Amino acid sequence: MHIDARPFAYEFDLATTALVLIDMQRDFIEPGGFGESLGNDVSLLEAIVPATQRVLQAWRGAGGLVVHTREAHRPDLSDCPPAKRNRGAPTLRIGDAGPMGRILVAGEPGNQIIEALAPVAGEIVIDKPGKGAFYATGLHELLQQRRITHLLFGGVTTEVCVQTSLREANDRGYDGLLLEDCTESYFPAFKAATLEMVRAQGGIVGWTAPSSALLSALRGQEG
């Protein structure tokens, strides 16, 4: 299969490709969570939910592997470095009690993936203590066991957890593509810059493409 992508066509096989949705959690997308505690207008992020839902449904329909990540810390915060917890002047720090439970803590209501994109049985769910999906998780090993070589990324936020994960994937030898309308930032200019820098220099970090290009490829596969 191939996707009309930038800087050039992205070739992939369904059997060796995973869809990776980064941190589509209430903590980032809904008011009262981590994202808002940092001073962000979280309403910007929900715009990508319909396109991401279409991609998720199509990818599931094609039988592709799905990976969801959550930025999540243990309740005792033993995996949250003080440097991360103490950075800046948020209204609520990681581990503090907020309207959706403790901020960025595993198992709390705010830490769950939004209902529209909730994982289903058989999909991989990775709790990660850092911004990247590979740091201090077993993701690379899980993907290697399944012979995955290509990763299609969506999620939030573009220049923080998504870009970090894409770069980590690139350094581990994966071909990564960022779905342009399935990722969003609290800063539109940062999203635009990320898309540009990923595909610059002949795809120095990877590819970008609109989700419609992936959906076309999957429709072609159905014949």
Q: Applying CB under 6 A, does 45 fall inside the site for ligand TIU?
A: no
> Contact at 8 Å (CB) between 169 and 176?
yes
CB of 187 to ligand TIU, least distance (A): 8
Q: Applying CB under 6 A, does 156 fall inside the site for ligand TIU?
A: yes
* Dihedral pair phi/psi, residue 167, rounded to 5°: -70, -40
Instruction: Pick between residue 58 and residue 101 the one whose CB is nearest to ligand TIU.
Output: 101
* C-alpha angle 59-183-83 in degrees, rounded to nearest 5: 120
Instruction: Pick between residue 131 and residue 199 the one whose CB is nearest to ligand TIU.
Output: 131
DSSP-assigned letter for residue 205 = S
Q: Applying CB under 6 A, does 38 fall inside the site for ligand TIU?
A: yes
Instruction: Pick between residue 157 and residue 211 the one whose CB is nearest to ligand TIU.
Output: 157
Q: Which of residues 112-131 bind ligand TIU (CB under 6 A)?
A: 131
Q: Applying CB under 6 A, does 23 fall inside the site for ligand TIU?
A: yes
> Contact at 8 Å (CB) between 23 and 69?
yes
CA separation, residue 187 to residues 18, 44, 193 (Å): 27, 9, 10
Query: Residues in the site for ligand TIU, rule: CB under 6 A?
Result: 23, 28, 38, 71, 131, 156-157, 160-161, 186
